[in-house]
Chain A
Amino acid sequence: MREPPVVARDGSLFDPNKEQERVRIRKTLHRIDEVSFEVSGVDAPFLNALRRVLLAEVPTMAIEYVTVNENSTVMNDEFLAHRLGLVPVLADPRRFEFRRESDEPSAQNTICFRLRVPPVNRKAHPEWNLSDGAVFAGDDAVPSIPVYSDDIIWEQLQTRVGESCLSSTEGASPHRSSSDAQQQAEATDGLASAADSTAAVEPVQVQRGILLTKMLRGQRLDIRMEAVKGLGHDHAKWSPVATAYYKMVPRVHLKGELKGELAETIRGACAVHVFDIEESAGTLKVEDESRCTLCGECVRILEDKPQLLDSERPDNYSKFMQPMETDLRKVYENDFVSVCQQTDRFVFFIESVGQYRADVLFGEALAIFHSKCTKILEALQNE
């Protein structure tokens, strides 16, 4: 029943002027974190390339190096480090450079974060100020305290001394004994002196409200993180999109006026409510064909009910024969319903994770694909 996938719409030669007229884009959803738009006149291979670029080749910042100074929670270091890596770092990646193995960390290629629980400023966190009595009151009263990504705090990058600043600067300082006030002063002093003086670096946030782990009173976490720029094909944490996908525009046609049990059956078969019943006339209508997922259930359900097929075949069946559109491909069809795809129109969906505004992502992908082609073109130029 299915035809082979469409590789090229036709064998037409590429002509930029014709293409300019043919390509149409219509916006259907425009939000800060999600866009969708309808594209016509562009073929699937090109859109697929863009989709792949969006998923794997648009750079973002993500936590890559994690130094665990202290972790007495039940979650082991590796697990925690992995979870930290997946927290979106809400920095504009275009302001940063890639950091290669040989590069020194700098404000241009690295963002530093620190996670310290219990927090230095305990007054703002009442859950850490309970007396022992309150905590161990009942039988089951050993409450675990959730640690959210809200506690990940941006730090200015400290210049590395020797092998690793991460362990050397803080590893020795005794958190446990010193008072909170002292700790804070110590920390800020250290930062100010070592701060990169060249850049007035803006603080960076991570996505808030993500549960990292749970811990009990008396347990401690002290973790330093470095976020670097990377690509989604190395690890999904660097992917800027939650999803990016396209589909051919689905078209659902009814081939006649359908009433009664048949209409009810077809309406009920659809899980995404493509169909509805016209209240006044009691006939089936297509409510919203764009919801269709091409499951084909509306066609398949009648195979199990031959009595419906015989009794209610519409008399005016032939009148409603749809006009044949050239770019329409039938996916499912019976005497009452046909489900088609329009092969030259696509809906493209992009959901941003948060590093980029959703509406700039497509442009970024285009630019990256463009430079990919240019780079090879240059390499071939002298051949």
Chain B
Amino acid sequence: MTSAAAGNHSPHSGDASLELDGKDVHIQENADRTELVLTLRGEGHTLGNALRYMLTREPGVQQVGYTIPHPSEDCLKLYVVSKPGSRALDSVKLALFHLTQLCDIVGEKYEEAFMKT
């Protein structure tokens, strides 16, 4: 598993438009769904780096990177390549879910450490 900056390397998708159509999340995939560019509006390095980190720990992921294309544009692009046979988007969903799980675990431990006195 390696990490790389997404840059402007985009998968060959039918939908070439980069407009977000008023949505906060935009998905571009290639034909067999192993490559994905996810555009998230209103997100930055806070989520970007954590999500990339979690994706490196997902089994189906071959390569992942993220970029903030322009500092004045409030959006984040996440680039994921999955292993053949698995869908890149599923790995992203799993990673997001695992991040919430990690939040719960850390929160629980924090409570334990600080509330028992």
Show the binding face of A for B, using Cβ within 8 Å: 7-8, 11-14, 16, 19-20, 23-27, 30, 35, 37, 39, 42-43, 45-46, 48-49, 52-53, 56-57, 359, 362-363, 366-367, 369-370, 372-374, 376-377, 379-381, 383
Of the candidates A30, A45, A372, the one whose C-beta lies within 8 Å of that of B53 is: A45
State in angstroms the CA–CA spacing of A367 and B3 once bound together.
28
Inter-chain contact B56/A11, CB cutoff 8 Å = yes
Contacts of A52 in B (CB 8 A): 45-46
A2 to B58, CA, bound (A): 28
In the complex the two chains form, is A14's CB within 8 Å of B58's CB? yes
Q: A294–B105 Cα gap in the complex (Å)?
A: 31
Within the assembled complex, what's the spacing in Å between the Cα atoms of A383 and B23?
13
List of B residues within 8 angstroms of A367 by Cβ: 103, 107
Say yes or no for B106: interface residue by CB 8 A criterion: yes
Cα distance, A366 to B46, chains bound together (Å) = 12
A61 to B54, CA, bound (A): 33
Provide the residues of chain A in CB contact with B54, threshold 8 Å: 14
Residues facing A in B27-57 (CB within 8 A) are 27, 40, 43, 45-47, 49-50, 52-54, 56-57
A31 CB to nearest chain B CB (Å): 12
Contact A380–B52 (Cβ < 8 Å):
no
The answer to whether A45 touches B27, judged by C-beta atoms less than 8 angstroms apart, is: no
A19 to B92, CA, bound (A): 19
For the complex, what is the distance from the CA of A26 to the CA of B89, rounded to whole Å?
Answer: 36
Report the minimal beta-carbon distance from B102 to chain A, rounded to whole angstroms.
6
A23 to B112, CA, bound (A): 12
Binding site for A on B (CB under 8 A): 1, 3, 23-25, 27, 40, 43, 45-47, 49-50, 52-54, 56-59, 89, 92-93, 96-107, 109-114, 117
The residue that A23 contacts in the complex, of B27, B52, B59, B105, with Cβ under 8 A, is B105
Complex contact B3–A7 (CB within 8 A)? yes
Chain A residues near B23 (CB, 8 Å)? Answer: 379
Q: Please tell me if the beta carbons of B109 and A25 are within 8 angstroms of each other in the complex.
A: yes
Determine whether the beta carbon of B100 is less than 8 Å from that of A30. Answer: no
Q: Chain A residue with minimal CB distance to B112?
A: A25
A383 and B89 form a contact (CB under 8 A): yes
Separation of A43 and B27 alpha carbons in the complex (Å): 28
| B33, chain A: closest CB distance, angstroms | 10
**Shortest CB–CB separation between residue A320 and chain B, in angstroms?**
34
Q: A14-B54, A14-B98, A376-B40 given as contacts; is B106 within 8 A of A366 (CB)? A: yes
Q: B110 contacts which of A25, A46, A56, A383 (Cβ < 8 Å)?
A: A25
Determine if B58 and A380 form an interchain contact, defined as CB atoms under 8 angstroms apart.
Answer: no
A48 touches B50 (CB 8 A): yes
The answer on a CB contact under 8 Å between B25 and A376 is: yes
Are A11 and B102 CB-contacts (below 8 A) given A372-B47, A376-B25? no
Residues in chain A near residue B53, CB distance under 8 A: 7-8, 43, 45-46
For A26, give the chain B residue with the smallest CB separation: B113
Contact A30 B56 (CB under 8 A): no
Query: Which residue from B3, B100, B117 sits with its C-beta under 8 Å from A370?
Result: B100
Cα(A334)–Cα(B49), bound, Å? 35
Q: Which residues of A contact B52 (CB under 8 A)?
A: 45
Q: Are A53 and B46 CB-contacts (below 8 A) given A12-B57, A25-B109, A359-B114?
A: yes
Contact A380 B89 (CB under 8 A): yes
For residue B104, which residue of chain A has the nearest CB? A370
